[in-house]
Structure 1
Amino acid sequence: MSQTAEPQLHYISNDAFVADVQMLARQVEQGDWTPDFIIGIGRGGLVPAVYISHQTELPMLSIDHSSKVPGFADELLAKVAAKSAAGQRLLFVDDINDSGGTIDYVRRLLADNGCNGDNLRFAVIITNSRSRVTVDYWAEMIDRDEDKRWFVFPWEAVGAKGTIVEEARSVPERLA
C-alpha cells in the first residue's frame, strides 16, 4: 500500500464490541484458571478490561504502555510482576494482538522482574493468527496476510478520521 492510499477502516460497532467482551469474560469464567486481577494495557486494553472486570466481578488494575511516560508502564509492570511472584493470577487485556509487539514487551518485562509465568494469561478482542505471540483468550481471529482492515474500536471512533488514517499509515506492513 502506498503512503497516499486510503487504508480500509473497519469500524467496530459498540454492540459487536460488547458481544466480544462478553464472550471473553465467559471464556475466563468457564475455564479452570481464575484471575485475581484484570489488568488493562493502555490505551486499547483499558475499555475492554473495564467491561471484563465488571462482568466477572474481579478487580481491575491498569498500566499505560502506549504513553511511554515514565512511572506509568514499566514501573507498574514491575509491581505487577511482584504480585504474580507472590502467587496472584493476572489476566492482561488488550484490544488486538496484531504483530505481538505489545504483548511480547509486557511478557519480557514481567519475566525480567521475577514474574511467575504460570500466573499470567492474556486476552484480546482480535488476534492475528500470524502474530509472533499467542494469547490465551480471544473473540475473533484474523489472518493478517489476508485481512488488511484497520480495526477502529468504539472508543477510537470518536477521534478525527485523519488521525485514525495517520495511525493506520504508520504501520504500512499491516496494511499492504
Structure 2
Amino acid sequence: MEYDIISWESINEAVEILAKQIEDSNIHYEVIYGLARGGLVPAVMLSHKLKIPMVLNMEEVWRLKVKNKPALIVDDISDTGETLRYFDDQKFDIAALFVRVHTSKIKPKYSYKNINHNNWLLFTWETKDSSK
C-alpha cells in the first residue's frame, strides 16, 4: 500500500481554508460535531478557530436539527462517502479535509482538497497500523 503522509502544516492549512469557506458562507453554526477518530482533531481545530462550540454527543446535534438550527459535521476524508452519507441524507452540512472525488458518493459543502488517487492518507494522528 502506498501512503501520502499528511503533515501538521497541511492540516493547519486545511483548517484555515475550511474556516474561511465557512465564514464566507454566512451560516452561523450552533455546534460542530467531529466524527469519531478522523474527524475529531479537525473538528477541535475548527471549533477553536471559528469559536463555535464542539459537541461530542449526537443527541445535541439532533436537538438543534429539530429546532432548525445548523450544526456542522466534520471528518478528515470523504473516501467512499459511506460514513458521511447518513449525515448528507439528513441534510447536515459537512466539512472534510479531503475528498476522494473518484469514489466518494457525497460532496461535502466544505473541503480543502480533492484527490484522485487511491494512496492511503496517513494523518499525523494515525499510524500505518490504522490502514489495516
TM over 0.5: yes
Deviations 1:30-69 (A, max 9, x none): 112221111111110000000000000110012xxxxxxx
Say whether residues 1:83 and 2:64 are aligned partners: yes
CA contact (8 A) 1:77 1:106 kept: no
1:121 maps to a residue whose letter is: D
- Corresponding residue for residue 93 of structure 2: 121
- Tell me, in whole angstroms, the C-alpha distance in 1 between the residues paired with 2:75 and 2:118: 19
Q: Percent identity?
A: 31
- The DSSP-based 3-state class of the residue aligned with 1:35 is coil
- Tell me, in whole angstroms, the C-alpha distance in 2 between the residues paired with 1:13 and 1:104: 27
Higher strand share: 2
- Tell me, in whole angstroms, the C-alpha distance in 2 between the residues paired with 1:135 and 1:101: 12
Say whether residues 1:164 and 2:130 are aligned partners: yes
CA contact (8 A) 2:88 2:106 kept: no
Equivalent of 1:148, from 110, 118, 130? Answer: 118
TM-score by length of 2: 0.90
Equivalent of 1:93, from 63, 66, 74? Answer: 74
TM-score by length of 1: 0.69
Say whether residues 1:8 and 2:37 are aligned partners: no
Deviations 1:1-23 (A, max 9, x none): xxxxxx00111111111111111
Equivalent of 2:112, from 129, 133, 139? Answer: 139
- Mark the runs of 5 or more structure 1 residues left unpaired by the alignment: 1-6, 63-75, 112-116, 168-176
Change (3 A) 1:78 1:59: closer
- Corresponding residue for residue 33 of structure 1: 27
Q: What is the RMSD computed on CA atoms of the aligned residues? A: 1.6
- Tell me, in whole angstroms, the C-alpha distance in 1 between the residues paired with 2:62 and 2:41: 22
Please tell me whether Structure 1 or Structure 2 has the larger radius of gyration of its CA atoms: 1
- Tell me, in whole angstroms, the C-alpha distance in 1 between the residues paired with 2:61 and 2:41: 19
- Tell me, in whole angstroms, the C-alpha distance in 2 between the residues paired with 1:100 and 1:23: 21
What is the count of residue pairs matched by the alignment? 131
Instruction: Give the C-alpha shift of residue 148 in structure 1.
Output: 1.8
